[in-house]
Amino acid sequence: MLNDPLANVMSLILNNQAVGTSECTIKPVSKVIKDILKVMKENDYVGDFKEIEDGKGNYIKLILTGNINKCGVIKPRYSVKNKEFEKFEKRYLPAKDLGILFVSTPNGIITHYNAKSKKIGGRLLAYCY
């Protein structure tokens, strides 16, 4: 039984990256998972991905580029104000300006850099570097 589909996707990506495969299949698919993958693609952590309909909940074929050192979810999903991002950057990212935190905001799922520039807060979902 899957308790946290986002955590399963992050560990699947990390495991396939460690083994050296060039693509992986992600199932189940949700809107949050697709939004996280879009942000990862925009920041060049993963390649292209395509959702394939199979009549049983669909799945995603993801192309891996080899740019991920570590990724994971943040539990519990902390509520963060605009001024508090630096504390979580120190906790989850290895160095300044290296990696991204995924934040769920009223504007959708974005990186913490975009949230800081727009001066909005939200809930932390995951990290990647």
Sketch the domain layout of the chain as residue ranges.
5-64, 71-128
How far is the CA of 102 from the CAs of 19, 58, 94, in angstroms?
Answer: 25, 24, 15
| 5-76-95-103 Cα dihedral, nearest 10 degrees | 70
- Under CATH, what is the fold of the domain 5-64? Ribosomal Protein S8; Chain: A, domain 1 (3.30.1370)
Mean pLDDT for the stretch of residues 124-129: 97
Mean pLDDT for the stretch of residues 73-97: 95
pLDDT the model gives residue 3:
87
Mean pLDDT for the stretch of residues 107-122: 96
- List, in order, residues 6 or more apart from 13 with CB less than 8 Å away: 24, 46, 62, 64, 68, 71
pLDDT digits (tens, 9 = 90+) for 28-42: 999 999 999 999 999
Can you give the pTM of this predicted structure?
0.93
Banded pLDDT at 111 (limits 50, 70, 90): very high
Mean pLDDT for the stretch of residues 57-68: 94
- Distance, in Å, from the CA atom of 121 to the CA atom of 39, rounded to the nearest integer, reads 17
Is 80 exceeded by the pLDDT of residue 1? Answer: no
In the CATH scheme, what is the code of domain 71-128? Answer: 3.30.1490.10
